[in-house]
Amino acid sequence: MALEFKKVTAVVSEQMTVEDAEILLDWLIKHPRGRINLSACTHLHAANLQVLMAARPRISAWPRHAPLAAWIKAALTP
Amino acid sequence: MNPLLDQFITEGRDILQTIGERLLQLEDTPDDSALMGELFRLVHTLKGNSGLFDLPEMTRVLHAAEDLMDAVRDGRRPFDRPVADRLLEAMDFVLALIDEIGDSAEAAPPNTARHANDALELANALRGLLAAAQATTPTATETEPAATPAPSPAPAAMPLEALPSRIQQELTQRLEAGEPLCWLTYEPEEECFFKGEDPFHQILQLGEPCWRRVSSREDWPPLAELDAYRCILRFEAILNTPAEALHEHFRYIPEQVRIIPLQPPAPTSASSSEPPPDAETTWSFNVVLEAQREILGLTDNPPWLSGRLRAVATTLEAAFASIGQVVERDALEQALHSADASHSSQPLLNWLDEQQRRGDTQLPTAASPPGAPAEDIAPPPEAQEPQEPIKFGRRAEDRLAGHTLKVDQAKVDRLMNLIGEMVVTKNALPYLANRAEEVFGTRELAREIKAQYGIINRIAEEMQDAIMQIRMMPVSFVLQRFPRLVRDTARKLGKEVRLVMEGESTEADKNIIEALADPLVHIVRNSLDHGLESPAERSAAGKPTEGRLTISARQESDRVVIEISDDGRGIDPDRIRRKAYERGLIGEPELERLTDQEAINLVFAAGFSTAEQVSDLSGRGVGMDVVRNAIACVNGAVELHSQLGQGTRLRLSLPLSMAVTNVMIIESAGQRFGVPMDRVAETVRVARNDIRTIKRRLTTVLRGRLVPLVTLNDLLALTIEQVPNDDDEFAVLVVRIGADHLGIIVDDCRETVDIILKPLGGVLAGLGGYAGSALLGDGSVLLVLNPRELL
Amino acid sequence: MSKTILVVDDSATMVMSLKASLEIAGFTVETAGDGVQAISKLKSGIKPDLILTDINMPNMGGIDFIRNARALPGMRFTPILALTTESQQAKRDEAKKLGATGWLVKPVGGADLIKVIKQVLPGA
């Protein structure tokens, strides 16, 4: 499981799979002010990217993996 | 041998076997699409497998075969005789290669390059059929649309203007520096996640872009209505990656990307076509070629000549590639190969001359377009089909394919020997019981020994049965070659023959089955050659033009019976009589007296051949006598029935197993001998008075029939008189020798026993007249006579 | 944790070769001889991270296998690569339409195989 939920923060570790997208979406629906910690994320499936783009949650930490961070920043900060 | 190669060979043989069968079936039912599909799949699998190894000859032929089968399956080319013929030839070739690889002990497949010419010829023959089909129906071709990327929409409005000016500037600089920048737009289809795709993963593999944008193709709905799995993403990027590399990266989804190579703002005349080789390239190309010519011109013959030639060939190929000229790889390989074989550089020089001559016509303008596959250049000589079929290696009929017994036969034989000894040893127990009772007077112990014997006996018999089962194999093992043999032979003779096989699953001992192989081939060839008539002759006789040849196998009690029958012209007894008389096989009296059946049986006489002229099929003077002897060797019998104009039927009857032989024990000159029961017609007592001497031969009359007599002691070259019983009657064993009966006078006939017959070994092996020896329960050795040899 | 790959091919030689290449690259390999076998493997709880399937197979061919596999609950998003020959453009298109992620052209070299798998399988 690449998702861990702590109160208002979802912490993503390693890879977010396509199946995780629904869980993430559910959580974001229930926690409209929820934040996402992506620092340990190495990859996330496009479905998750889509959910993040639609929800625009606050990112409390960007991925340490620079190329991934660059793309997610581009997607979330137009 | 490495396990993968081993697996390839085993599987390859199985596949080839099935391909052969399916091809023949398909000839009967050319519209069976399931069969066609299976055939294609098999050829396809084999080709795929061959590609795992460095076997270019095999792959080349299989590739051509696959393409042909593909065309046949799609209806672009009818399945007809030429197709079947070429495919069967191709499979023979492949089998020969597989056998060669299987025979080599190397870990890697041996080099099969010396078959390159054959492979080329075969592949061309296969492709010739394909080309002929395509020439006639050019519309239906479903070849691969050249890997052209999906037509990118024209870059109508180059969106560069929309980018920030800082980026625009940077792009211009990089473009002027010659970087191959491309504008990529990737709009993954909505259901792409359900095809296992991760567009983001694809994007991340592209490297750091000069510029990027991720957007959605629609406005995002409220979160509660979002379908996370309907992809509406759009990725855009400007990348420092050549367009071809991007096309390659998105090769599975070309319709979802747009790739636009960016061009420097200052318009140049750079055309999209490949530039012709510049002066420098041409110059170095010529230098390289001259150097290679010099090397090839060397007349020494060093031990490393082969390596030198290979190096030159590689250099030449690379040199031609450098000016964009694709060389015909196989022609080069072939030149290299013959150079290697002849220890001379000449073939390579010839190739080079040819290549340059051809190149000169192209070079001034430009190199030939790159990427033209060598395949296309290699000309299928003509669309015509070669007249003479090409022969490769051993034909299917020359070899028993497959290995049904996976256990080393020596191991089974050892088991067989051991159980034989066990059976004999166990037979000593009743003797022991008798001794216990009679010599030592312990009846109780005797009874217990007998009880134990009963149990051991049962187990031993079951074991023997089980071991014999291991050795059993279906008759199909020898029959499987016949569809092909009959087809090829009939075609060669211009006859139409339908082969019907029945009871292929009937089983018999491996030795019996193997002994059947050669006689059967001979019989079938005889039938095709002499028995079945030409179509014209048949229709003149009011028969269907297609002859019928039936091979049936079945079990009859403890024997396996094989019948080979045809509806051909049958055997003419009069002609046989005449021939036999001409050849001095019979005298004038017999000429009159012989019944038709007896006359027909004369074909089994040694040196008899009914063929008007010796044909190359069943010929070379091998007659039916050889067949009969071969069958007799395994205690089999042959019967021949024929009806003039109606057909001929040969009936082979063989024991199911050679392991246990039922023999009658006889006594003569104070010795015991065995005679196989299947030779014994009856045993009778004949009074001395009833024995007459006719023409200096002993004879007697049994049931109104004259039976010649011989004494066993005479046959064994013993100068002892046979001993009659108290009533002055002689024991006579009447044996069958072919269709004749003969009485052998012995001293006494005793019981029959089952024995394990072992051939005589050592110095005794050469002794004729004996079928072998066996151990009896009391430990004594029984010599088993072979009456046929004795006489 | 190593990724699991299910190899479906009726040719034992091909399976052996693919398995060897994949295992050298550190994948765990499951195998099946045709579509029917593969489906029952998937139903029995094996959940591969990627599937490699031949197209021409007896019993259930690759095209039908892909369609059936996609209908299984855990297999909706699993990458599937079809093993094809260069002459099978039509089959490839059909396989793609029915849910294949991509394809490989036989004979597949070990290096190419791993390269393509890495391209479609994140984290491989």
- CATH classification at residue C30: 3.40.50.2300
Residues pairing with B638 in the sheet: B652
**pLDDT for residue B232:** 93
Mean pLDDT calculated for residue range C2-20: 91
* B714 pLDDT more than 60: yes
For residues B164 and C118, what is the distance between their CA atoms, to the nearest angstrom?
35
* B258 pLDDT more than 60: yes
Binary contact (C122, A18; C-beta < 8 A)? no
Binary contact (A45, B200; C-beta < 8 A)? yes
Mean pLDDT calculated for residue range C42-62: 90
Residues pairing with B735 in the sheet: B680, B742
**pLDDT for residue B745:** 92
For residues B44 and B40, what is the distance between their CA atoms, to the nearest angstrom?
6
Summarize pLDDT for B682-696 with one digit per residue, the tens: 888 999 888 888 878
Interface test with B, best of A41, A50, A72, A77 (most B CBs within 10 A): A50
**pLDDT for residue C53:** 94
* B400 pLDDT more than 70: no
**pLDDT for residue B347:** 81
For residues B397 and B481, what is the distance between their CA atoms, to the nearest angstrom?
5
Q: Is B638 exposed, middle or buried (0-12, 13-18, 19+ CB in 10 A)?
A: buried
pLDDT band at B273 (very low <50, low <70, confident <90, very high): very low
Share of chain B above pLDDT 90, in %: 13
CA–CA min distance B153, chain A (Å): 25
* B380 pLDDT more than 50: no
How many domains are there within chain A?
1
Interface residues of chain B, partner chain A, Cβ below 8 Å: 188, 193, 198-201, 203-204, 208, 212-216, 220-221, 223-224, 226, 228-229, 231-233
* B270 pLDDT more than 80: no
Binary contact (B199, A46; C-beta < 8 A)? yes
**pLDDT for residue B716:** 86
Interface test with A, best of B184, B189, B194, B198 (most A CBs within 10 A): B198
Select from B573, B569, B784 the least CA-distant residue to B672. B784
Q: What is the layout of strands, in order, in the sheet containing B637-643?
A: B497-502, B547-556, B559-566, B647-655, B637-643
Select from B134, B65, B70, B129 the least CA-distant residue to B93. B65
How many domains are there within chain C?
1
Mean pLDDT calculated for residue range B391-402: 45
Question: Which is more confident, C82 or B770?
Answer: C82
**pLDDT for residue B649:** 93
Separation of first and last alpha carbons in chain B: 52
Question: Which is more confident, C70 or B158?
Answer: C70
pLDDT band at B474 (very low <50, low <70, confident <90, very high): confident
Mean pLDDT calculated for residue range B710-739: 86
**pLDDT for residue B137:** 46
Share of chain C above pLDDT 70, in %: 97
B46, B82 contact by CB (below 8 A): no
For residues B661 and B758, what is the distance between their CA atoms, to the nearest angstrom?
10
Q: Which of B51, B194, B201 sits opposite C77 (nearest CB)?
A: B194
pLDDT band at B103 (very low <50, low <70, confident <90, very high): confident
Domain of residue C64 covers: 4-118
Summarize pLDDT for B460-469 with one digit per residue, the tens: 888 888 888 8
For residues B303 and B553, what is the distance between their CA atoms, to the nearest angstrom?
60
**pLDDT for residue C82:** 92
Q: Which of A21-35, B448-462, B653-667, C22-36 has the lowest mean pLDDT?
A: B653-667
Contacts of A22 in chain B (CB under 8 A): 228-229
pLDDT mean across residues, chain B = 79
CA–CA min distance A24, chain B (Å): 10
Q: Is B706 exposed, middle or buried (0-12, 13-18, 19+ CB in 10 A)?
A: exposed
Mean pLDDT calculated for residue range C39-45: 90
Domain of residue A10 covers: 3-76
For residues B597 and B684, what is the distance between their CA atoms, to the nearest angstrom?
27
pLDDT band at B381 (very low <50, low <70, confident <90, very high): very low
pLDDT band at C85 (very low <50, low <70, confident <90, very high): confident
CA–CA min distance C109, chain A (Å): 28
Summarize pLDDT for B182-207 with one digit per residue, the tens: 889 999 999 999 999 999 999 999 98
**pLDDT for residue B233:** 93
pLDDT band at B268 (very low <50, low <70, confident <90, very high): very low
Binary contact (C123, A45; C-beta < 8 A)? no
Question: Which is more confident, B561 or B617?
Answer: B561
**pLDDT for residue B251:** 87
**pLDDT for residue B563:** 94
**pLDDT for residue B360:** 56
Q: Which of B6-15, B346-355, B699-708 has the lowest mean pLDDT?
A: B346-355
Per-residue pLDDT of chain A (78 residues; tens, 9 = 90+): 578 888 788 999 888 999 999 999 999 999 888 899 999 999 999 999 999 999 999 999 999 999 999 999 999 986
For residues B347 and B345, what is the distance between their CA atoms, to the nearest angstrom?
6
**Is residue C40 assigned to a domain?**
yes
**pLDDT for residue B202:** 93
* B610 pLDDT more than 60: no
**Is residue C123 assigned to a domain?**
no
- Chains in contact with A via at least 3 Cβ–Cβ pairs below 8 Å: B, C
Torsion over CA: A57, A61, A63, A66 (sign): positive
* B706 pLDDT more than 60: yes
DSSP class of residue C43 equals H
Contacts of B16 in chain C (CB under 8 A): none
Mean pLDDT calculated for residue range C98-118: 87
C-alpha pair distances (Å), B765 with each of B633, B756, B768, B773, B787: 15, 17, 8, 11, 17
B555, B630 contact by CB (below 8 A): no
C56 → chain B, closest CA residue: B41
C124 → chain A, closest CA residue: A15
Select from B295, B283, B183, B205 the least CA-distant residue to B249. B205
CA–CA min distance B218, chain C (Å): 23
**pLDDT for residue B4:** 81
Whether the CB of B219 is below 8 Å from some CB of chain C: the reply is no
**pLDDT for residue B678:** 77
Contacts of C7 in chain B (CB under 8 A): none
* C65 pLDDT more than 90: yes
**Surface of C (35-74) touching A: CB under 8 A:** none
CATH number where A36 lies: 3.30.750.24
Query: How many CB atoms sit inside 10 A of residue B341's CB?
Result: 12
Share of chain B above pLDDT 70, in %: 82
pLDDT band at B148 (very low <50, low <70, confident <90, very high): very low
**pLDDT for residue B406:** 63
Summarize pLDDT for B780-789 with one digit per residue, the tens: 888 988 887 7
Q: Which of C10, C17, C77 sits opposite B196 (nearest CB)?
A: C77
Contacts of C96 in chain B (CB under 8 A): 195, 252
**Is residue C124 assigned to a domain?**
no
* B339 pLDDT more than 70: yes
Select from B734, B755, B750, B760 the least CA-distant residue to B662. B755
**Surface of B (164-203) touching C: CB under 8 A:** 193-198, 201-202
CA–CA min distance A2, chain C (Å): 13
Q: What ipTM did this prediction achieve?
A: 0.96
Whether the CB of B252 is below 8 Å from some CB of chain C: the reply is yes
Summarize pLDDT for B51-96 with one digit per residue, the tens: 888 888 898 899 899 888 888 888 888 888 888 888 998 999 999 9
**pLDDT for residue C39:** 93
B15 → chain C, closest CA residue: C11
Question: Which is more confident, B117 or B158?
Answer: B117
Binary contact (C77, A19; C-beta < 8 A)? yes
